[in-house]
Copies of this chain bind each other. A is one copy, B any other.
């Protein structure tokens, strides 16, 4: 216990417990996302949560102060020791730095292109805003392709995002842009000051929040009315996806960067439209994806009716990042699902589980004398893929049924001494309170039929 302090209880701010109802939803989400990315041949990997601080900091210490350092008792430094020399390990703050380290380390054992997905916890020592869903320990789910240059891998990333939303039952649009198109916009506009470029992109990035007019006004003020007009035209392209590409070509086609970007976008849209994704993907010149490390196609995913939640899954092409992080010089493209945000949307759209348990049947325990009967009936149900909980001890029947109802178990089975003597069981619907008595020999079949209707 820390000297001179109260013993701390509970969990530290920014670190979250997940109770059964929410965890059951989370597991369903991970299963669905895994199934979708596996359908594209992404392979699962795992890496340690602890890496060398050198790896996490990279060449430019971009993780900075948010990195949690770790050390154990054996490494416990004398007070006054140089901390940097002792505490040389830390907790990962994303899954991209580990991918670069992992790919660099195992390149000889891995295929190229290498498609991996990875989900797990990441840690950020930022100010926690638990009310707003910002935690210090949270999950990420990433799927990336290392070593592929063409539009095929880009298009697959967009399709994977659209498939995931469909799998989750969420109507969504995957917005697609290309960073080279944004580069061409400032190039054609004659903006070459790096600081001004950043202000332009930052302004465009606010499109979804403040609307086109304010973005254009902000940019016109920071640059010139003429460049404001160009941005206005850029953000006003409309019509079918291929028409938007045509309008962008007219506007920016003089720039080699734009030609490259529009060829990429054209290829992506062509593949997606040939494959039934029309209406679920959109060329969106307004998306920027921050000022980060993207070099080509970029993606953001908005759920219809939940646009205010922001993008729930996003990504893009980052052809220089893996080398920058100390890995081999390989192009890459991928996307990240915003796990917490998707859970928020799912819960807001009725995916909420009213059950705290996977059990579908609850076995009332009338008497220790019948333990063997309860146990063998429960075993038979489990063998028929019906998750079953037997009440562990004997308590009043009403209390047992209340317990099962509160857990959200749909059916209870009652076998008292009378029923046992007759060879029957009573099945009780815990929501409607209706019950029926069935012969033991019909119990499994009846439950399978009832549960199929749930």
Q: Are A44 and B24 in contact (CB under 8 A)?
A: yes
Which B residue's beta carbon lies closest to that of A3?
B84
Asked whether A447 is an interface residue with its Cβ less than 8 Å from the other chain, the reply is no
Inter-chain contacts of A77 with B (CB < 8 A): 83
One complex includes copies of this chain to the number of 2
CB-based contact A83/B76 at 8 Å:
yes
- Our pick among B65, B102, B389 for the contact of A41 (Cβ within 8 Å) is B389
Q: How far is the CB of A119 from chain B (nearest CB, A)?
A: 11
Does A421 have its Cβ within 8 Å of any Cβ on chain B? no
Residue A413 CB within 8 A of the other chain = no
Q: Would you give the shortest CB distance from A158 to chain B, in whole angstroms?
A: 11
**Cβ-defined contact, B41 with A359, below 8 A:** yes
Most chain-B Cβ atoms within 10 A of its Cβ — which of A42, A51, A74, A379? A379
- Which residue of chain B has its CB nearest to the CB of A15? B48
CA distance A70 to B69 in the complex (A): 5
Say whether A43 faces chain B, with CB atoms less than 8 Å apart.
yes
Interface 1/0 per residue, A104-147 and B, CB below 8 Å? 11100111110110000101010000000000110000000101
Candidate in A48, A65, A111, A272 with the most chain B CB atoms within 10 angstroms: A48
Contact B45 A20 (CB under 8 A): yes
- Find out whether the CB atom of A125 lies under 8 angstroms from the CB atom of B2: no
Tell me if A's interface is mostly helix, strand, loop or mixed. Answer: mixed
Q: Is A222 an interface residue (CB 8 A)?
A: no
Neighbouring B residues of A433 by C-beta, 8 Å? none
Residues of B within 8 A of A356 (CB): 43, 111
Determine if A200 is an interface residue (Cβ-Cβ < 8 Å). no
**Contact, CB under 8 Å: B271 / A372:** yes
Decide if A152 touches B88 in the complex (CB within 8 Å). Answer: no
> CB-CB contacts of A1-34 with B at 8 A, as 1s and 0s?
1111101111110011111100110110000001
Q: Which residues of chain B have C-beta atoms less than 8 A from A372's C-beta?
A: 270-271, 274-275
B67–A406 touching, CB < 8 Å: no
19 chain-A/chain-B pairs, Cβ below 8 angstroms: A5-B88, A9-B105, A10-B52, A11-B101, A12-B50, A12-B52, A15-B51, A39-B385, A39-B388, A66-B73, A75-B125, A80-B80, A111-B406, A115-B357, A270-B372, A271-B372, A271-B376, A272-B375, A275-B375
User: 17 other contacts beyond A10-B101, A49-B121, with CB at 8 A cut-off?
Assistant: A2-B85, A8-B54, A12-B89, A15-B51, A16-B48, A38-B359, A43-B358, A44-B358, A65-B73, A66-B73, A67-B72, A68-B70, A73-B125, A148-B392, A156-B392, A271-B376, A272-B375
